[in-house]
Amino acid sequence: MRTSRHLLVGALTLGSLIVAPTAVMASPAPPANPNASQHPATIGKDTLRSLAEEAGIEIGVAVNADLLAGNGKYRNIVNTQYSSVTAENVMKWEALQPERGVYDWAAAEALIANAEANGQVVRGHTLVWHNQMPAWLTGGDFTAEELRAILEDHVRTVAGHFAGDIQQWDVVNEIFNDDGTFRETIWSQAYEELGLPGEQYVADVFRWAHEADPDALLFYNDYNLEFTGAKSNAAYAFVQELLADGVPIDGVGFQGHLDTQYGYPDLRANLQRFADLGLEVALTEVDVRTFVTQKPNGTYTNTPADPAEAAQQVEWWAQTLEDCLAVEACNSYTVWGVSDANSWIPGWFTGQGAGLLYDTHNNPKPQYEALREVLRDAA
């Protein structure tokens, strides 16, 4: 039986979870008006969220707060297709505390209000990350003692403000390098200046967050944990240490940013080994990118350059969900963005894209149908 402290669902046998790789499915034909919505305003029985509920899993999406407020088709997809939402940016440090001691809650609160109105849970993202920090913090001249105090105040203030509204928090994000070394940040440097181990700030942040919101599930979130190797092994050992020290960590988030050029990871085995520590696990930022065709003017389309890799994308989407469903402790699966129209991928990986479930017109792709088929089989 798949269980969660926040959600109790019907029984699923192991045999119903381990399903054969899903074949490539044809997506619905685009409407005559590409801006028209193909999704009804109500939640139908064949939506991702309805099927996911039957399968006993939350299915989520990272949400752009501006598009949620201003784009009706985007908002309709978010509200009808997903049971969980993650704040793509509006809960990050630079958005919430743009000036020292001055908090801007409006955008995050609007996202939460929309989620509550539509029966969705919220994943908080993220309390502590080395990116997207405000200039006053990164450019400030603070002592180590001041930095530790700033860190504690931010974590306690943010977690406390949203207490009761967040199902899962990404408490710390991306704390390991790919070679398995601990990432050096202003926080680790400050702790070392205080004569403490640099990584000790992580344990402190989890404790402060738990004290501020005892009911939220607290996660460590990172990329490339899907593959067995130096990074995932180091993360595994570190999490064991946190647990041994009584740190209130509830789960590990596997981001799931995959690229067809690198091969499919041993995801299921890695999910399971962290779950075997007594933790929840989740896929938190799934997308599957590939190389796309280039126009004569040098810009790129959103069309995969290799049809075989386009088919592989669909298969990998299905496989990631199958892997999560096969691990009892994996109760949440989140895609990193609604559509290719607003994906982060082209801005970070030149010549790559087509990584999400919906195309640039916010219409469903074969990847979307592949996930529905997996969920039907799992239910």
The residues annotated as belonging to the active site are: 174, 285
SS (H, E, C) the chain: CCECCCCECCCCCHHHHCCCCCCCCCCCCCCCCCCCCCCCCCCCCCCHHHHHHHHCCEEEEEECHHHHHHCHHHHHHHHHHCCEEEECCCCCHHHHCCECCECCCHHHHHHHHHHHHCCCEEEEEEEECCCCCCHHHHCCCCCHHHHHHHHHHHHHHHHHHCCCCCCEEEEEECCECCCCCECCCHHHHHHHHCCCCCCHHHHHHHHHHHHHCCCCEEEEEECCCCCCCHHHHHHHHHHHHHHHCCCCCCEEEECCEEEHHHCCCCHHHHHHHHHCCCCEEEEEEEEEEEEEEECCCCCEEEEECCHHHHHHHHHHHHHHHHHHHCCCCEEEEEECCCEHHHCCHHHHCCCEECCCCECCCCCECHHHHHHHHHHHHHC
CB burial readout 165-180, b (16+ within 10 A) else e: bbbbbbbbbbbbeeee
Contacts for 35 with CB less than 8 Å, ≥ 6 apart: 73, 361, 362
